[in-house]
Amino acid sequence: MLALMMDRPLTLPSILEHAARYHGEREVVSRSVEGPIHRYGYADALSRVKKMAKALLALGVKPGDRVATLAWSTHRHFELYFAVTGIGAVLHTINPRLHDDQIVWVARHAEDSVLFFDITFSEQVAQLAPRIASVKTLVAMTDRRHAPDGVLVYEDLIAAETDDFDWPELDERQASGLCYTSGTTGNPKGVLYGHRSTVLHALALALPDAFDLSARDVVLPCAQMYHANAWCTPYAAPLVGAKLVLPGRQLDGPAVCELIEKEEVSFLLGVPTIWVGVADHLDQTGGTLTSVRTIAIGGSAPTAALISRIEQRLGGQVRQIWGMTETSPLGVINTPLPAHGGETEGETLQRKLKQGRGLWGVELRILGEDGRELPRDGRSSGALQVRGPWVSSAYFKQDGAAAFTDDGWFDTGDIATIDAEGYLRLTDRAKDVIKSGGEWISTLDLEDAVCSHPAVAMAAAIGVPHPKWDERPLLLVTLRPGRTAEPEALKAHVAERVAKWWTPDEVRIVDELPLGPTGKVLKRELREKLAISATASQS
Amino acid sequence: MLALMMDRPLTLPSILEHAARYHGEREVVSRSVEGPIHRYGYADALSRVKKMAKALLALGVKPGDRVATLAWSTHRHFELYFAVTGIGAVLHTINPRLHDDQIVWVARHAEDSVLFFDITFSEQVAQLAPRIASVKTLVAMTDRRHAPDGVLVYEDLIAAETDDFDWPELDERQASGLCYTSGTTGNPKGVLYGHRSTVLHALALALPDAFDLSARDVVLPCAQMYHANAWCTPYAAPLVGAKLVLPGRQLDGPAVCELIEKEEVSFLLGVPTIWVGVADHLDQTGGTLTSVRTIAIGGSAPTAALISRIEQRLGGQVRQIWGMTETSPLGVINTPLPAHGGETEGETLQRKLKQGRGLWGVELRILGEDGRELPRDGRSSGALQVRGPWVSSAYFKQDGAAAFTDDGWFDTGDIATIDAEGYLRLTDRAKDVIKSGGEWISTLDLEDAVCSHPAVAMAAAIGVPHPKWDERPLLLVTLRPGRTAEPEALKAHVAERVAKWWTPDEVRIVDELPLGPTGKVLKRELREKLAISATASQS
């Protein structure tokens, strides 16, 4: 027997309609690519979104068509989040930090028909667009004055329309967004989000034990809008009526600090490297922030030293999350339980090093090498698999990817433990694992240990072949500006903090570590470089 | 094009599975019908729920079957919330305060096959059950020692089963609950909830700007579990891992106060009359509560005097809600906006008299007598209609009810205004409206005005026929214990607070006002009584 409740679909336009009606004056503030700060309320945003939706229809965009963006986090990108999806098309947010060949590859794979781009990328687009046969329309996300020749202009499209527009009826399972993971191996893989998955994820994200978002919040996502939809905050913020601050292209310390101070930001999110930059800037200026309540950190695991530094400098509490493009991205979040009320400062910090606990909606399991589920004892470490209504079921145009199990789980490629309280702790990426004498050594634990040394900025542990133990760890570190340290002293520092057989055979100080397009250390590249250097030294 | 996200249905068992896994020791505390306080964790609750699910299947309960309860808010009722719905059957929570004939009517209409009952109702059930042909199985919700003869015993059913049970695959649109509105006119109307509608409602309920529920909360619903599912808190609390306190049958001041104190309750909800009892008790004992953060009030509108009294006495903030059985029940909630940070105490109180603002998921509109939508100006008052994924689309086995409009809205039967900030303010029930000289007089405003007098306990304004003005208001009031007041003084008190033509022709002090099964004043009964009395005085 079916319920007798209204069959209202969960769709993205309903979010902005709600925000416009109940939080019409609440601002979306963005640092424009042209320079100045742009600000308007959700009611004005909706009006422009409706005009853009009509413009897209006039350009011939059909339901299911892929519309690409090569753009930073700005109000125009925000408008496309709703205009493109609201007419049933799919917003493909291309990561501009990809190599040109990869940009061409994903745009061809997605069969994008329209490409919206920020003027930062005008020359790049002029070169690349001819290589993407499917793209028939180019739109510069600016006004006539700033636009290059020979393309359509965003503000002209808006100006040509009125805002009398009713959204079409949408199936909530319809695709809404396409985001390729910047895979460190193989070709990029397309994650195809839907209206339903995004709305459910936005609801869960706003819950008190997740991001705790209300109409009183000011949200500044320091993950770009091409990076797992800026962790879905451009949808979650209007859903609850929070003020949304979009940082444009500038995620350096001074630019982010300026926005936090001027807009009284309460909620921040981003990868660890962003907060290093902010903390460095505050160190230099001696400035103090007063409005921040929470800094959500994900993308890669911060060290204990970095968590302490960020909390001291930014004045809020760090909440680590774990997630992936394939999980929309929220998988787990580190929110304290009532039982943690009596923690010492040290215990709090140790807890914050874990990635977090599952919220309703995301199921987790860890499997041993024999494929059997492992106990949640905080020690047994295995392959992390997840399941839930905002988790990918397949990659776009790629049948039978091994990451999707026959029994309906997504194999994340991460290695993790889960403890009795339900806290997930990543020990490795499966592909980065160091296996020594038949046992796993956690690269994250090694990196954490060396980063607790005051001279260390960043670290990366990788496995190097060893005739007896198969692999032994090598620890590469960069130093903080103006600091010095001897490799042997760093090795001794690590030795005090990890099991004896985990202690790396060598700690090597390097000038820099190669970072991928989302700020993660590219360990594959490190391994490749080292193989060359090893050969060189042998010759 | 459909999204490539997992097609996981939104179902109720997933909520308790999550709570058992991540909040296994978090308690469900209940005042049992037998007397003692019962407490256990969500993990133990799930184990018993699975045993009960197997017992129901063994009794022959099939998907879609209606399983009725005549029961208070206890842990066994909580278990049935999940066991019955989890096997795809429908939990019909009968309001025991209905007349016997109405209980028989709803059980027949629902075609209940099993009836679970608290021992409070043993004799009543023995009399009524033979009149309900569909009920084949009676189960006393107690142990063998307390059970009457000739029926199955809840604890025996549990003891006979093990907890190795996998939930069947459920369609999220499947019906899960049936709740009849205690209509003041006509036969009761059945609202048929579903898994999807309930999960979405529970998610929305827990948001920071709604009930703001987290794992750190202790929730005590003082609406019974047969009253719109205790406002969905038996589902929302485990979804977020909050401790749940169930008050059994006792909702008097001393019993509720004891639970708040001993269990450190942070979140309360219920109709205004409950809080009068609690405040009276605290007046007498001089006691102080320290754990309460929020008291959600709905069901009928509290007066300004009552809001102040409750906040002073209970120590938390009142958040008024408006909702109905047909809206699951959350429709709107009165949560402050950032703009209200600078309110004076008087302004805060005035704002709290409004029912609240819409959250994402519930759309509202008010229509004039010509069926056209009225402006949101805080003055235009019209028929309130709502729409959303947790709003009824029809009544059970009743086609074409007028409350459901052709264009997909539910006509609430309430008369309301909406102001520019989006705040809904009820002015009347449509059937209670007083129309005088072609204009509406708000009975709620009249009641609010007289209740601000320190001697007044409760009030009810009704329209009485008038040869010239069609209707004129009559205001009936009860006095607080030990207080006296003259009718003319009360009339003068009202006259100072409302428009001249709204001032009632008469204020009449009565010993009591007739209350319906959910604590609302039965105005229809008042009108009937007064008609008799009018006839009597004329004779």
Residue with tokens 């993971």: A181
Rounded Cα gap, residues A294 and B484, in angstroms? 54
CB A497 within 8 Å of CB A446:
no
Q: Which two three-digit tokens encode residue B503?
A: 């001032």
Predicted local confidence at residue B535, as pLDDT: 39
Query: Which pLDDT does position B113 carry in this prediction?
Result: 98
Question: What does the DSSP assignment read for A66-116?
Answer: EEEEE--BSHHHHHHHHHHHHTT-EEEE--TTS-HHHHHHHHHHHT-SEEE
A47/A20 Cα distance (integer angstroms): 9
A407 three-state secondary structure:
coil
Tokens of B296: 């959600």
CA distance B1 to B19: 35
Side-chain-side CA neighbours of residue B332 (13 Å): 28
Angle at A121 between CA A115 and CA A125, to 5 degrees: 50
Element housing B75 (H / E): helix B75-86
In a shared domain, residues B490 and B425: no
The per-residue pLDDT for B182 is: 66
Residues B256 and B332 placed together within one structural domain of the fold:
yes
Same domain, B438 and B371: no
Q: What's the pLDDT tens digit per position in A432-453? A: 778 777 677 888 888 888 998 9
* ipTM exceeding 0.90, yes/no: no
State whether A389 and B10 contact (CB < 8 Å).
Answer: yes
- What's the pLDDT score for residue B443? 86
Candidates A197, A206, A335; nearest CB to B5: A197
DSSP assignments along A307-366, one per residue: HHHHHHHH-SEEEEEEE-GGGSSEEEE----GGGGG--HHHHHHHHTS-EEEPTT-EEEE
Beta pairing partners, A366? A384
Indicate the pairing of strand B410-418 with strand B423-429.
antiparallel
From the candidates B161, B263, B326, B447, give the one annotated as an active-site residue: B326
The CA radius of gyration of chain A, in Å to the nearest whole number, is 23
Are β-strands A27-31 and B506-509 bridged in parallel, bridged antiparallel, or unpaired? unpaired
Residue A48: which of A14, A73, A82, A18 has the closest Cα? A82
Contact B392 A5 (CB under 8 A): yes
So what's the pLDDT on residue B537?
38
A525: how many CB neighbours lie within 10 A of its CB? 14
Is the preceding peptide bond at B329 cis, omega within 30 degrees of 0?
Answer: yes
**Cβ-defined contact of B207 to A203 (cutoff 8 Å):** yes
Which tops the pLDDT comparison, B408 or A526?
A: B408
Specify if B398 maps to a domain: no
Helix axes B42-58, B75-86, angle to 10 degrees: 60
Integer angstrom CA distances of residue B417 from A6, A511, B125, B413: 24, 66, 44, 13
Chain B residues with CB under 8 Å of A401 CB are: none
B531 lies in a domain?
A: yes
Query: Residue B536's pLDDT is what?
Result: 39
> What is the pairing mode between strands B456-466 and B470-479?
antiparallel
Q: What is the pLDDT of residue A534?
A: 44
Closest residue of B to A13, CA-based? B360
Residue B230 included in any domain: no
In sequence order, which residues have a C-beta less than 8 Å from that of residue B414 and are 6 or more positions away?
B322, B383, B384, B426, B428, B429, B430
The span from the CA of A498 to the CA of A508, in Å, is 18
Do B263 and B191 fall within a single domain?
no
- SS3 annotation, A139-177: EECCCCCCCCCCCEEHHHHHHCCCCCCCCCCCCCCEEEE
CA angle B208, B214, B220 (to 5 degrees): 100
The reported pLDDT for the residue numbered A373 is 97
B435 is catalytic: yes
Residue of A nearest to B325 (CA): A5
Distance, CA of A23 to CA of A246 (rounded, Å): 18
With CA atoms as reference, the chain A residue closest to B191 would be: A4
Do A210 and A268 lie in a common domain? no
**Domain of residue A307, residue span:** 251-336+344-386+409-430
Residue ending a domain, among B377, B398, B430, is B430
Mean pLDDT, range A147-156, rounded to an integer: 97
Assess whether pLDDT exceeds 80 at residue A326: yes
For Cα atoms A35, A53, A395, give the angle at the middle one, nearest 5 degrees: 90
Q: What tokens appear for B203 in the block?
A: 């998610």
Assign 3-class secondary structure to A373-389.
Answer: ECCCCCCCCEEEEEECC
- Window from A239-248, A475-484, A520-529, B251-260 with minimum mean pLDDT: A520-529
Please check whether residues A147 and A170 belong to one and the same domain: yes
Checking if the pLDDT of A524 tops 80, the result is: no
The dihedral built from the CA positions of residue A446, A450, A456 and A457, taken in this order, carries a sign that is: positive
Domain identity same for B447 and B503: yes
Q: What are phi and psi of A459, to 5 degrees?
A: -150, 155
Interface size A-B, in CB pairs within 8 Å, comes to 193
| Contact (CB<8Å) A3/B175 | yes
- Chain A residue numbers touching B385 (CB-CB < 8 A): none
Report the pLDDT value the prediction gives residue A154, as an integer from 0 to 100.
Answer: 98
Nearest to A180 by CA among A121, A99, A60: A99
How far, CA to CA in Å, does A27 sit from each of A20, A247, B340? 10, 14, 16
| Domain end call among B157, B190, B216 | B216
φ/ψ of A75, rounded to 5, equals -65, -30
Would you state the pLDDT for residue B305?
87
- Asked if A275 and A322 sit in the same domain, the reply is yes
- What are the percentages of helix, strand and coil residues in chain B, rounded to 5? 35, 25, 40
Give per-residue pLDDT as tens, A31-49: 999 999 999 999 999 999 9
Do A141 and A279 share a structural domain?
A: no
* Strand A152-153 to A456-466 pairing: unpaired
User: Minimal Cα distance from A326: which residue of B?
Assistant: B5
Q: Is B529 a catalytic residue?
A: no
Question: Does residue A537 register a pLDDT over 90?
Answer: no
- Whether residue B293 is contained in a domain is answered as yes
Per-10-residue mean pLDDT for chain B, 539 residues long? 97 98 97 96 98 98 98 98 98 92 95 98 97 98 97 98 98 98 74 98 98 98 96 98 98 96 97 89 92 92 88 94 95 93 90 93 94 95 96 93 93 93 87 76 86 90 84 91 92 89 90 79 81 43
Chain B residues with CB-CB distance to A194 below 8 A = 2-5
- Please state the separation of Cα A112 from the chain's center in Å: 23
Please tell me whether residues B32 and B160 are part of one structural domain. Answer: yes
Strand ranges, E, within B54-204: 66-70, 90-93, 114-117, 137-140, 152-153, 175-181, 189-194
One domain, residues B317 and B353? yes
**What is the structure's pLDDT at A531?**
66
Q: Is residue A235 part of a domain?
A: no
Alpha helices by DSSP H, A223-331: 228-231, 233-240, 253-263, 272-285, 304-314
- pLDDT score at B419: 95
Question: What is the torsion angle, in degrees rounded to the nearest 10, for the CA atoms of residue A239, residue A240, residue A243 and residue A249?
Answer: -40
- Would you say residue A536 has pLDDT above 50? no
Structurally, chain B folds into a number of domains equal to 3
Q: pLDDT value at position A532?
A: 46
Question: Which residues in chain A are closer than 8 Å to B64, comparing Cβ atoms?
Answer: 1
Nearest to B165, CA basis, from B24, B254, B52, B71: B52
Amino acid occupying residue B405: T
Q: B196 CA to chain A: closest CA distance, Å?
A: 9
The answer to whether the Cβ–Cβ distance between A215 and B337 falls below 8 Å is yes
Cβ atoms of A452 and A303 within 8 Å: the answer is yes
The answer to whether position A401 is within a domain reads no
Do B120 and B17 share a domain, yes or no? Answer: yes
Distance CA A341, CA B76 (A): 31
Distance between A399 CA and the closest CA of chain B, angstroms: 11
CA separation, residue A492 to residues A434, A506, A507, A510 (Å): 20, 11, 10, 18
Interchain proximity B15–A207, CB inside 8 Å: no
Distances (CA, A) of B326 to B64, B299, B390, B410: 20, 12, 8, 9
| Domain-located, residue A192 | yes
Task: Identify the domain boundary among B190, B216, B242.
Answer: B216
CATH label of the domain that carries residue B439 = 3.30.300.30
> Structure tokens of B51?
């045993």
Q: What is the CATH number of the domain that holds A284?
A: 3.40.50.12780
Catalytic one among A120, A137, A181, A478?
A181
Residue B1 lies in a domain: no
Residue A539's pLDDT band (cuts 50, 70, 90): very low
pTM: 0.89
